[in-house]
Amino acid sequence: MLRDTKLSCTNMEGQMAKASSTEQAKTKPRARNARPKIERAALKLFIHEGIDAATTREIAEKAGVSEGALYRHYKGKDELALSLFMETHNRLGAMMAEALTGDGSLEEKVHAAVKAYCELADEDFLLFSFHLVSLNRFLPYDKRRDDDPVSITEKIIAGLMSEGHIPKGDPALKAAMALGVVMQSGQNKIYNRLPGPFSQHADAMSRAVMCVLKS
């Protein structure tokens, strides 16, 4: 009887240990600062594999967090991708407005805008790269706003034309051509066709933009 009691106690201890282990797994503490980890992991996967190919499970694994942690911050990978894109897009709009409406000559304003664009790229090249390679995916669905980078550029160019600072023409076309100088250069930087920090090319790109505006 004593032997049976010992066996019973041993079995009970084993079951309790197993239950405790299971409970610990269920109550695994949440990862601290999960959101930035999720965003960096997502950026890497989105750029190297593509948004459509990446999965929330892969993003969570790369971030070192649970998949549930991702869903606590985002409804899914599409919302995550759009959020990352708009973060840079909105910053660009604010920077363009500040640079192009500030004091100084036209050349100085253009240089300030190009320099700000380059510094944003050098500050976080991964996020900058994602924004640039995702323009075609997200911009067609973005509502036309007065504060987006393209609208700001078009409005300022139209003002320069009406004031006689640059030749008259189509503001939308001139804006596309001017933005193309820095955006195509950014693409080449992403594909390792341009060496060094992007900012070191700011002077040359500024001169090219001025040529576009005065054409």
Q: Find out whether 68 and 74 touch, Cβ atoms under 8 Å.
A: no
Render pLDDT for 168-192 as a digit per residue (tens, 0 to 9). 999 999 999 999 999 999 999 999 9
Using an 8 Å Cβ cutoff, are 201 and 144 in contact?
Answer: no
CATH superfamily membership of 82-214? Tetracycline Repressor, domain 2 (1.10.357.10)
**147: pLDDT confidence band, cut at 50, 70 and 90?**
confident
DSSP line for 19-36: HHHHHHHHTPPPPTTHHH
Q: Where are the domains of the chain?
A: 32-74, 82-214
What is the average pLDDT score of the chain? Answer: 86
Please tell me the predicted confidence (pLDDT) of residue 141: 61
How much is the average pLDDT of 180-209? 96
Question: How confident is residue 25, by pLDDT bands cut at 50, 70 and 90?
Answer: very low
Q: How far apart are the first and last CA of the chain?
A: 103
| Residue that wins the pLDDT comparison between 20 and 184 | 184
What are the two backbone dihedrals, phi and then psi, of residue 151, each rounded to the nearest 5 degrees?
-65, -40
Which pLDDT value is given to residue 20? 39
Least confident range of 27-36, 104-113, 148-157:
27-36
Q: Which CATH number fits domain 32-74: 3.40.50.720, 1.10.10.60, 1.20.210.10, 3.30.70.1230?
A: 1.10.10.60
Between 44 and 12, the more confident residue is 44
